[in-house]
A and B are shown apart, each in its own frame.
Chain A
Amino acid sequence: MMNKLHGIIFAYRSNPDLQELTQHRNTCSVPYGGRYRVVDFMLSNMVNAGMTDVGLIAHANYQSLLDHVGSGKDWDLSRKHGGLRILPPFSYADKLGDGTYKGRMDALAGVFSYLENIRQPYVCLAGGDLAVNLPLKEIYASHIESGADITAVCTSHPNGDPKNCDYFTVGEDGMVVDVAVHPKEPKGMESLEVYIISKDLLLEVVSHCSAHNISSFSQGVLMEMVRTGKKINAYRFDGYAARLQSVAGYFARSMELLNDDVRAQLFVPERPIKTKDRSNPSTYYGPDSRSVNSLVADGCIIEGEVENSILFRGVRVEKGARVSNCVLMQGTTIQAGVVLKYAITDKNVRINPGRMLMGHATYPLAISKNEIV
C-alpha cells in the first residue's frame, strides 16, 4: 500500500539570533548533535513513517542545504517516482518581489504548482529547524481517527522563546479551543509547528490566504479554523524536542544531549536519524587522552583532554589541550596546550597552540567558520 502522507519541510528560515551559526547557512543546516544537520531529524522522521515523497522549501542561503541533502539517497529518497524535491522560490519573485518568505503561507503559495501535483491525499507540514524524533505514523493515525480538519503537534514542555512560538488551549475532547500567536508568556501547550492536513484542504487554505495576502500559517489557518468552528486535533508529544533559536539556546540544547535520557528520546533505535555519509574512520584516542561525559563523532583524533563536550566528525584535540563544555564542529583543530571552555567552534576552526579562550554557560563564545584564533 502506498503511503498516504506527503512531506513538506519548511527549510527557508534563517534565525538572526543564531548569529555566527547562520552566517553561512540557514537554520535547517546548522550542525547539531555531533554529526547531524538539524533538518536530518525531520527528514528522517518522515522517512521513518514510510513517506516516499518530500518537498523541501528553500529560499535564500540554501547552498549548504543543497550540498547536505544531495539527491536524498542517504535517506532513501533518491527515487524514480517521487523522492526528495528541493523547492526554490521559482514562482515567488514574479509575484511578490524580492525578499524572503514572510511566513509559511507565502512559502506554500510560492510552490503552489508543486502542491497541486502531490499524489498523496494527506500532507505533513513541518519545520526543518526542530530536532525531534516524532512518531509521525502514530500522529497520522491520530489525525484519521479524530476526524479533525487538521492535526497540530504540541508539547506540555515548553522550550521555545514565547515571542517566536504559538500556544494552544486544548479542550477536554483533545481539540484546540484557542490559539495564542507569539505571546509574551507561554500559555498552554507549545506548538511544535508540525501539522497533518488533507491535500484538498491545504490547497484551499493556501489559495484563500494568497488571495487575502495572509502570510502567517497560525493566523491564516489555525486562528481562522478556531473562528469558524473547524476541528483542530491537538496531538500531544512530550518527548524531547530542541528548537534552535539563539546562540545560548543552541549551546543549552547541545549540552542536554549529554543526558542519557535525552539521547534515548532523540536516538530511538527503531526510528534512526539518518544523515549524509562521509566515510570517516573510527575515532582514535591517544595514550594520554581523556574523554569524559562527552559525545564524540567518528574520524576524530583525540590526544588531549575532553570533558562535557560535543565533538563533530574529524575534530583534532592535540596533546596537552583541554576542552571542556564546548561544541566543536566538523574539522575543528585544537592545537597543543590550548584551554577552551564554554565555546562553540564552527566548521574548520583552528585554535593555535597555547591559546586560552573562555565563554560562559549563558553566553558561550561562538567562533565563525574557518576562523584561525
Chain B
Amino acid sequence: MKKECVAMLLAGGQGSRLHALTSHVAKPAVPFGGKYRIIDFPLSNCVNSGIDTVGVLTQYRPMELNAYLGNGQPWDLDRTDGGVHVLPPYMREGEKGTWYKGTANAICQNIDFIELYDPDYVLILSGDHIYKMDYSKMLAHHKATNAACTISVLEVTMEEATRFGIMNVDETDTVYEFEEKPAHPKSNLASMGIYIFTWSKLREYLLADEADETSSNDFGKNIIPAMLNANEKLVAYRFQGYWKDVGTIDSLWDANMDMLSPENGIDLYDTEWPIFARTPTKPPHYTGANAHISHSMVTGGCVVYGDVENSILFHSVTVEPGAKVRYSILMPGTVVKAGAVVEYSIVAENTTIGSYAQVGAPPSDSAPEDWGIAVVAQGLTVGDHAVVAPKAMITSDVKGGAAK
C-alpha cells in the first residue's frame, strides 16, 4: 500500500571506536540509558511521528540486532501493512552483489523495498544518535519549502563546528555549500545525519551515483554535493533540543550521564514521547538494608546491597555489600562482588568484577592524558583484588591481584 514517507535506518556500522562494546554487537544494539539500546531512539521517534514503515539496513554483526528487532512488536511495528523490515545486503543473479559499500549504496541496493510502498518522501536515519525528534514537523517543513532534500541541523559552537559536517546557508536557510569538518567553519549548523528526500529526486541521484565507479557511495561525500552542484533545493531544518552522537566511549558515557539530569538531556519519564524498548520481564529491584543509592538509575532485577552514586544500572545487576559503584554504567547482568570499587567505567553485559577489585579511577587521581573511562567487554571476569587502570579497554579476563 502507498505510504507518504518511508524511513530507512542505517544500522550497519561497526562502531569501531566503541571497540570493546561492539565486539559482539552492532553499534545500534549497544545498551543505553538503563533500559534501551541506541536504536530505540530513532525507532521510537518514527513511531511517535506517525511513520509506520521502517527499513533497517544491517551488515556488521547483525545477529543480536535482528533478534532485538524481532517482529517489531515493542515499537508497535508488527504490522500487516508496513512495519519494521531488516534489510541485509544480498546476492543477485549472475553472482552479482556486494556488501553495502557506503550509506548511499545501502539505500540504492534497497530501491525495490522502498518502491513497494510507492512513497513521496524517504527519511534517512542513523542508528547512533540519542535524541527525541518529531519527524512529521521536519516533513511538513520539507513540503512547505518545496525542497528536494531537507537536512536536519543543530546549532553548535564555532569550535565544535570543526568536528562536524557543516551546512552553509543563505538567509532562507537554503544550503549553498556543504563542508565536512572544516578547519575554518563559515557557519555553525552541523548536520545531524537526518535527511528527508523527495523520493523521485533521491532515486535519480542514487542511480547516477551508483553508475559512477569513482564514487564512495556516501550521502555526505557524494549525494549531497552532487545535488548542490546540480542546483537542487537543499534546505536546513533547525532542530532544537538534545542530540548526541554516541560514536565514542566518552560521548557514550556522557550521554548516559545526561539521562540522570532530565533538565539537561532527554526526559525519559515524559509520557508524551515515550521511548520503547524490548526488555525482559524482571521482578522489581531490591535495595538492601545498608544500600546507599544517589543520583542514579536502577532497573528491574537488580539487587543493591552496596553504594551506587551517579551511575546507571541496567537490569539484573548485582552490587554486593561493601561494593562501591560511582560514575559508571553497568550493563545487564553485571555482578560487582563485595568490596569492589568501580568508578568512571563502562562494564558490558554479564561481566563479573571480583571482590576488592578496582576498576577505573576518578580523573583527579591521574594526569589528564592518562585518564579516561575504563571499559570492560561483555562476559568477562575481573579477578579478586585485580586493578583495571583508567582508560583501559579490557577484552579478556583479568587475573586476580595480590590481596592488599
Contacts and interface: CB of A to CB of B under 8 A. Distances in A.
Given A282-B312, A284-B297, A273 B291 contact: no
A285 B281 contact: no
Interface string B276-316: 11011101111111111111111110000000100011100
A306 B1 CA distance: 53
Contacts of B274: 279
B284 A292 contact: no
Contacts of A294: 286-287
Contacts of B291: 291-292
A279 B294 contact: no
A299 B260 CA distance: 13
Contacts of A286: 294-295
B334 to A, nearest CB: 14
A35 B283 contact: yes
A289 interface: yes
A34 B281 CA distance: 12
B284 A296 contact: yes
A67 interface: no
B294 A273 contact: no
B34 A282 contact: yes
A296 B313 CA distance: 14
A282 B294 contact: no
B299 A283 contact: yes
B73 interface: yes
A301 B284 contact: no
Contact of B295 (A279, A285, A291, A310): A285
A98 to B, nearest CB: 38
A354 interface: no
Contact of B281 (A274, A288, A289): A274
A272 interface: yes
Contacts of B284: 33-35, 295-298, 310-312
A132 B292 CA distance: 31
B285 A296 contact: yes
B283 A34 contact: yes
Contacts of A293: 287-289
B393 interface: no
B84 to A, nearest CB: 16
Given A282-B298, A285-B295, A285-B296, A292 B289 contact: yes
A368 to B, nearest CB: 23
- Looking at B34, B287, B299, which has the most chain A CB atoms within 10 Å of its CB? B287
B294 A301 contact: no
Given A73-B73, A275-B281, A292-B289, A287 B300 contact: no
B85 interface: no
A289 B285 contact: no
B298 A296 contact: yes
Nearest to A289: B294
Q: Is the interface of B mostly helix, strand, loop or mixed?
A: loop
A174 B9 CA distance: 62
Given A34-B284, A282-B312, A298 B300 contact: yes
A281 B287 contact: no
Contacts of B314: 282
A267 B277 CA distance: 22
Given A263-B286, A282-B298, A292-B289, A273 B268 contact: no
Nearest to A293: B289
Interface string B260-282: 10000000110000111101110
Contacts of A273: 281, 283
B293 A285 contact: yes
Interface string B67-88: 0000001100000000000000
Contacts of A283: 285, 297-299
A310 to B, nearest CB: 8
B354 interface: no
B34 A281 contact: yes
B12 interface: no
Interface in B291-350: 291-300, 308, 312-314
B287 A288 contact: no
Interface string A69-103: 00001100000000000000000000000000000
A149 B341 CA distance: 59
Contacts of B288: 292-293
Contacts of B74: 277, 279
A33 B287 contact: no
A337 B33 CA distance: 30
5 contacts: A263-B283, A285-B297, A296-B286, A297-B284, A310-B284
Please list the 4 inter-chain residue pairs (A to B) with the smallest Cβ-Cβ separation, ordered nearest first.
A282-B34, A34-B284, A281-B268, A282-B297
Interface of B: 33-35, 73-74, 260, 268-269, 274-277, 279-281, 283-300, 308, 312-314
Interface of A: 33-35, 73-74, 258, 260, 263, 267, 272-275, 277, 279-299, 301, 306, 310-312
Given A280-B35, A296-B284, 14 more contacts: A267-B283, A272-B281, A275-B281, A277-B281, A279-B274, A281-B275, A282-B33, A282-B314, A286-B294, A287-B294, A293-B288, A296-B298, A298-B35, A298-B300
